[in-house]
Amino acid sequence: MTRAPGAPGVSVCVLGPSGRMGRAIIDSMPGRADVRLAAAVDRPDAPGVGAPVAGTTSGVLATSALEPAFEASDVYIDFTTPMATRHAAELAVAHRRAAVIGTTGLSTGDLDAIGALAQVAPVVVAANFSLGVNLLLGLARQAARALGPDWDAEVVETHHHHKRDAPSGTALAIARAIADGRGVDYDRVKRHTRDGDVGPRPPGEIGVSSVRGGDVVGEHTATFFGIGERVELAHRATSRSIFAVGALRAAAWVVGQPPGRYDMLDVLGLR
């Protein structure tokens, strides 16, 4: 595989083309002038490896070889698993390859590997690539600042029954935005589970709860409970294409940026 200089748009390597998000990203590419599919890399035993990527006329074959795919592309898009994301980031360092990373449930070690890549290449990392959710993050921060810690804040997220990590990365980002708005350290006030005799709710606590079922793409509600009133900020995703379109926009944006770690607020110019 070699890069095709002069072809329009940035050339993209999609990791996990057989996955729900990989599929949505590939399906969102036709008709776009800013991105084009250059490579697709999956687990060696994933369906479709060795065959042309379904649903495109690009002639790109799905393979399991990361390094030639990095060489063939300007940027890779990664919505896979924490282990695969860490491995890809480690290999991408030598290629100084730009990246768009949407995998959630990342550990500190995984984030360190991404941080090492961000030393040599531009990397967008976001727990949620939708415009609406990024707006919600800003609104939750603003609401927390305006209402103060006397209003009890709780975040509830609902996802499909295949989702592995809990709470969702987006719920954690919303909860952190609330802590930010209050000027407190999230790790000191968070509450992710309640079970048994947990006692009265401590003032200032920020709760996060997870619901799993069916085919729900993703729902998040931040509720601020006052005395005699409450405020709810909610986002409901009904199609994965919102994340795919955001990831492609991030891929077109990130190529050519200075090395560093960015998020969707940078991509959308909302910072």
Binding of ligand NAD at residue 167 (CB under 6 A)? no
Q: Closest CB to ligand NAD among 131 and 231?
A: 131
Binding of ligand NAD at residue 70 (CB under 6 A)? no
Answer yes or no: 190 catalytic.
no
Could you tell me if 1 and 71 are in contact, meaning their C-beta atoms sit under 8 angstroms apart?
yes
Could you tell me if 53 and 40 are in contact, meaning their C-beta atoms sit under 8 angstroms apart?
yes
Q: Residue from 28, 73, 80, 134 that binds ligand NAD (CB under 6 A)?
A: 80
Q: Residue from 73, 128, 134, 221 that binds ligand NAD (CB under 6 A)?
A: 128
Closest among 162, 3, 164, 149 to 68, alpha carbons compared: 3
Binding of ligand NAD at residue 21 (CB under 6 A)? yes
Binding of ligand NAD at residue 173 (CB under 6 A)? no
CA distance 113 to 93: 9
Residue nearest to ligand NAD (CB): 19
Binding of ligand NAD at residue 48 (CB under 6 A)? no
Residue 73 CB neighbours (<10 A): 27
Strand extents, DSSP E, the chain: 10-15, 35-41, 62-63, 75-78, 98-101, 122-125, 152-159, 190-191, 206-212, 218-225, 230-237, 260-262
Binding of ligand NAD at residue 151 (CB under 6 A)? no
Q: Residue from 27, 34, 46, 56 that binds ligand NAD (CB under 6 A)?
A: 46
Smallest distance from ligand NAD to CB 226, Å: 31
Answer yes or no: 163 catalytic.
yes
Could you tell me if 172 and 126 are in contact, meaning their C-beta atoms sit under 8 angstroms apart?
no
Task: Give the interface size with ligand NAD as a residue count (CB under 6 A).
Answer: 24
CA distance 264 to 46: 30
> According to CB under 6 A, which residues from 82 to 111 bind ligand NAD?
84, 102-105
Smallest distance from ligand NAD to CB 31, Å: 21
Q: Residue from 39, 41, 77, 173 that binds ligand NAD (CB under 6 A)?
A: 41
DSSP 1-26: ----TT-SSEEEEEE-TTSHHHHHHH
Region of 123 (left: φ > 0; alpha: ψ -120 to 50; beta: rest) is beta
Residues in the chain: 271
Whether the bond into 167 is cis, omega within 30 of 0: yes
Binding of ligand NAD at residue 127 (CB under 6 A)? yes
Binding of ligand NAD at residue 261 (CB under 6 A)? no
Binding site for ligand NAD (CB under 6 A): 15-16, 18-22, 41-43, 46, 79-81, 84, 102-105, 126-129, 243
**Residues assigned a catalytic role:** 159, 163
